[in-house]
Structure 1
Amino acid sequence: MNAVFSGLNCLATSRPGSDCRPPEYRCATDQYVVGGASAIFLVIDSMARASPDSGAAGSVIASGGNRMIARRNDFAVFLVVVFGLSWLFALWPWIGDKKVPSVFVSSAAVWMMLTPTLAVLALWWYRRRSMPELVAETGLMLGSRPRRTVWLIVAAWFGPAAFVWSALGVSVLLGVNEFDFSLGVDWTVLIILEALVGSTLAALPLALGEELGWRGWLQPQLTGRFGIALGLVATGVIWGLWHAPLTLRGYNYPELGAWAAAVFVVTCVFFGLVLGWLRMRSGSVWPCVVAHAALNAHAIGVSAFGSLDEKPNQLLNGHGGAVGWVLLAILAAILFLLFPVRGNGHLEQVGEVGVAGAQRAGGGPGTNLR
């Protein structure tokens, strides 16, 4: 696996501009998270082996399963922590007038992805909630129908590959990008396989760091207060704005400058619709984690096939541009129409059986964070 990563990093380095993110980001990601990927799947396996009662924890499908109805102070604590820490970790790109080395930008991105989980932990400490409640109420179980959740995890693993490559194909057909096959068949297969396996596995821990906050806690609270449609859009907007410390410096859209912040908000809203459906359909955060990790992995891989002769219009091109927005909107419409979520999206309480199951999985009722 190390040889695969080294080969891809060498390839990306030899093709400057083919990836909108600095090559060091991939190196930093590998160093920080590869070792934790196996632990993620041990957690999933242990949840799948839990008693039938434990699957009911956080099983309210429409809201994603929340027992704690947030107060205004809870939203304030969560938002202050998640935005405050994100700007704190991303200070390096803003210090001084000179161009900041990309290693600092990539390191800031890695640490930023942990801040939503840190915000949830701060909130649970503030509310003096127990660890079993944290597990149940943020969707860390497999939901009331574990088999469905497992199948959604499988779909979330392979679905982003189809989306990213389809977006590139449509962009080529529309003339906003060119496809470069100069790498050859061997490298093409290697890149696709590495993205499906190595990069996705490596990205899982950091994707969990984000999704535990966004889809685990925030989305159920917002859909419970404002309904599914407005709640999902609001979650996507907050998620997109949270990236501002980096996107205001052109991160992900280097040709757009500060406008990248606004463009990325739109991308987060559309991708958030699909992630939100996964959360509500499964009652679990794990399909969202896998989909998020897989998208990041394939976004890096597919960038190696863009033409270097002409830079594509980043506002229109690929999965992060208007082409991707349209494809995501179509996908979200299909999912919500053909596989509707139950309920009206308002908060309901998790049954005592579900909490008891979570306690068996995560500890006794006296296990407090504080």
Structure 2
Amino acid sequence: MVLDIRGRIGKHPVATFFVVAYVLSWTAWSPLVFAEWWATWSPLVLAGDLQTMVLIMVGGFGPLVAAALVTWIVGDSVREWAGQLLRWNVSLRYWAFALLFPAVAIVTASLVHIAVFDGQFDPASTSTLVLYPVLFLQVFLVGGGNEELGWRGFALPRLQRSYSALIASLLIGVGWFAWHLPLFVVAGSSQAGVPVYYYALAVVALSVVFTWLYNETGGSVLLTMVLHASVNTGGILYLAGGGAALQTELPNVLYAVVFLVAALAVVAAYGPERLSDVEIPTRPSGNRR
């Protein structure tokens, strides 16, 4: 029986990964989605904002745990999979991109908002720069970066065995977006109040950019974690209202369009097959075709 289950998972590891990630994360978030029902029936509810923060963070580890479980079940090396976190010795230009691209994107979007759509520059948006390093570190560890051993570290190289890098990116992008869906109805989450359709466009476009970075660096999950943390932290740099502006429609449109342009540029420059100038990783160890 056990061997049969392992064999089935071995035939569909990526699908299994997504199912397990969704189950783990959505189970953790369910007390927030069904807050009123949960408060009635469970004596273990924390109070207010603390509950939201803790459960969102716990659920955020679903992709990582799912990837570790499926890697172990199918008999692949968990050490090699986790070792992608140590792939730091890459060109400085990739470090610079991972750290700076999201900031450039958010500033570009906000400048368009100000110049074209009569947005008002908010000096308070620059005062948050002092918080940026602290927020970045938090997001890197528990607010998004921790997902990357799942999306890119596990799913991407396996999908690239069967599909072009572009198709693999789009599949992950859709799955990555859908994974966030419960958070759109959770007050206090960063997705609450954000227009779903523009968020979806941004995430799918970003998935192409993440694939480019992962492939170009020979499978560095560390760099994709840095990029993820930069994206999630970069919203506070929006010059026309700060991070709060990203709860409204126009900033989300502009932000999504900037990411879409970046994704299209990657496809045009590198081609859809590899989204890279080098042979692409098809195993989580960084091994290539």
TM-score bin, normalised by smaller chain: 0.7 to 0.9
Identity %, equivalent residues: 21
The higher radius of gyration belongs to: 1
Higher deviation after alignment, 324-333 or 342-351: 342-351
Letter in 1 for 2:154: W
Equivalent residue runs for 1:285-304 within 5 Å: 285-302=221-238
Q: 2:82 aligns with which of 135, 152, 156?
A: 135
Higher RCO (Cα < 8 Å, 6 or more apart) = 1
Aligned-partner SS, 2:120: coil
Q: Which residue of 1 aligns with 2:20?
A: 81
Q: 1:329 aligns with which of 257, 260, 283?
A: 260
| 1:237 CA displacement | 0.5
Q: Which residue of 2 aligns with 1:281?
A: 216
Query: 2:196 aligned with 1:268, yes or no?
Result: no
| 1:106 CA displacement | 2.5
Aligned-partner SS, 1:341: coil
TM-score for both structures, normalised by structure 2: 0.77
Letter in 2 for 1:210: E
Aligned-partner SS, 1:129: coil
| 1:80 CA displacement | 2.1
Aligned-partner SS, 1:316: helix
1:132 & 1:244 partners in 2: Cα distance? Answer: 31
Q: CA RMSD, aligned part only?
A: 3.4
Equivalent residue runs for 1:1-370 within 5 Å: 71-97=10-36, 101-135=48-82, 139-142=84-87, 146-148=89-91, 150-175=92-117, 177-181=119-123, 183=124, 188=126, 190-195=127-132, 197-206=133-142, 207-249=144-186, 251-252=189-190, 254-255=192-193, 260-283=195-218, 284-302=220-238, 305-306=241-242, 314-317=248-251, 321-338=252-269, 341-342=276-277, 347=282
Answer yes or no: is the 8 Å Cα contact 2:25–2:62 preserved in 1: yes
User: Quick one: structure 1 residues 82 and 246, their matched pair in 2 at CA, closer, same or farther if it must change by over 3 Å?
Assistant: same
Letter in 1 for 2:26: W
Letter in 2 for 1:161: A
Q: Structure 2 regions of 5+ residues with no counterpart? A: 1-8, 40-46
Answer yes or no: is the 8 Å Cα contact 2:98–2:223 preserved in 1: yes
Answer yes or no: is the 8 Å Cα contact 1:247–1:253 preserved in 2: yes
1:306 & 1:300 partners in 2: Cα distance? Answer: 5
| 1:315 CA displacement | 3.1
Answer yes or no: is the 8 Å Cα contact 2:183–2:192 preserved in 1: no
| 1:153 CA displacement | 1.8
Q: Count matched residues.
A: 265
Q: Which residue of 1 aligns with 2:6?
A: none
User: Quick one: structure 1 residues 147 and 344, their matched pair in 2 at CA, closer, same or farther if it must change by over 3 Å?
Assistant: closer
Letter in 2 for 1:238: G
1:349 & 1:93 partners in 2: Cα distance? Answer: 33
Letter in 2 for 1:271: L
Aligned-partner SS, 1:147: coil
Answer yes or no: is the 8 Å Cα contact 1:228–1:344 preserved in 2: no
